[in-house]
Structure 1
């Protein structure tokens, strides 16, 4: 019997294949556009591996979507209310990043709320935003977080809120001995 994570990976893989096909791209063309190897793309599309946050970010950039949009596209139509117990989580075991979609994403809306958690020492880097000019408001709830936006490094403690428009690389690092937990409000341009 497949686990819920395996089923999600299968749905993500199928959606990635669908998006590539809609654009009329071969795996080689997508590899050139995304900077991800053809074999990695193929394995993700066939759900032979769980895609990492960094991989999904690169593909979201190419397809002009946020990660929440991509993940919502593999779920049923969103309801206006999502109870805490029903909010979807996704974990990148490679980086120690856990992402919970707090608000139900909807194609007609530009904003969404996400809870992020990074284990002590966890470090995740994105080489580009999923959508150029994406606005993010990051509010730290617990722990310490170091956020790098381009060349600017921000050290955030509980209660601190950072607003940034993302045009280039970003990095999120748990800078303390305990898990960093934060709310990220994402607004598409």
Structure 2
């Protein structure tokens, strides 16, 4: 579990990253888990979890994916829990943006989850050569629609990799590991629509 290098140092106070750190600490506390127990469940080291919960480092997409699986939440739902405003219209300027500096993944919550609604929309951006992987879905059977807006993205679902170009869309239900890679040339921008089963 030597994953200390998975994050980058110090989100500013009051930022979405700092609020996320607080929410992750709350979720663990709500379950009565020690850092050791969460480390065992997630595969993320105790020291890294401690630093993330104290907002001393920002989690990577892969690390958040592991924690979302343990807490049975989509990443969008987790990020919506740290939003300052209640759900409703989501102007472009107020959409939450989270960046994984280690991989070059930028995630914009275009239409965050809301109680009573089953779908959410997220925009992803990957720099050329960037790879993000998830060991398991946060919710088994989660429906995904991935639509590439610019560039190219390779989407791996289970053991199969799909090469998508501009305008292409991939639809699937997620039961196991997955990943996204930008083969280039240049960066990629895509939309993910996720629908709870």
Question: TM-score w.r.t. structure 2 length?
Answer: 0.90
Q: Is the Cα contact below 8 Å between 2:153 and 2:180 reproduced in 1? A: yes
Residue of structure 2 in register with 1:48 after alignment = 56
Q: Tell me which stretches of 4 or more aligned residues in structure 1 moved more than 3 Å.
A: 2-6
CA deviation after TM superposition for structure 1 residue 167, in Å:
1.1
Unaligned runs of 5+ in 2: 1-9
Residue number among 70, 77, 86 corresponding to 1:69 in the alignment = 77
Q: 2-side partners of 1:72 and 1:21: how far apart?
A: 19
CA deviation after TM superposition for structure 1 residue 4, in Å:
5.5
Q: 2-side partners of 1:123 and 1:6: how far apart?
A: 28
Please give the root-mean-square deviation of Cα atoms over the aligned residues, in Å. 1.6
Q: 2-side partners of 1:14 and 1:143: how far apart?
A: 35
CA deviation after TM superposition for structure 1 residue 10, in Å:
2.1
Residue number among 37, 45, 51 corresponding to 1:37 in the alignment = 45
CA deviation after TM superposition for structure 1 residue 5, in Å:
7.1
Q: 1-side partners of 2:158 and 2:50: how far apart?
A: 30
> For 1:79-90, what aligned pairs fall within 5 Å after superposition?
79-90=87-98
Q: 1-side partners of 2:192 and 2:86: how far apart?
A: 19
Q: Is the Cα contact below 8 Å between 2:16 and 2:96 reproduced in 1? A: no
The superposition leaves residues 32-82 of structure 1 with CA deviations (integer Å, 9 ceiling, x where unpaired) of: 111111111111100110111111111110111011111111112433211
Alignment: residue pair count = 188
Q: Is the Cα contact below 8 Å between 1:78 and 1:106 reproduced in 2? A: no
Unaligned runs of 5+ in 1: none
CA deviation after TM superposition for structure 1 residue 6, in Å:
6.0
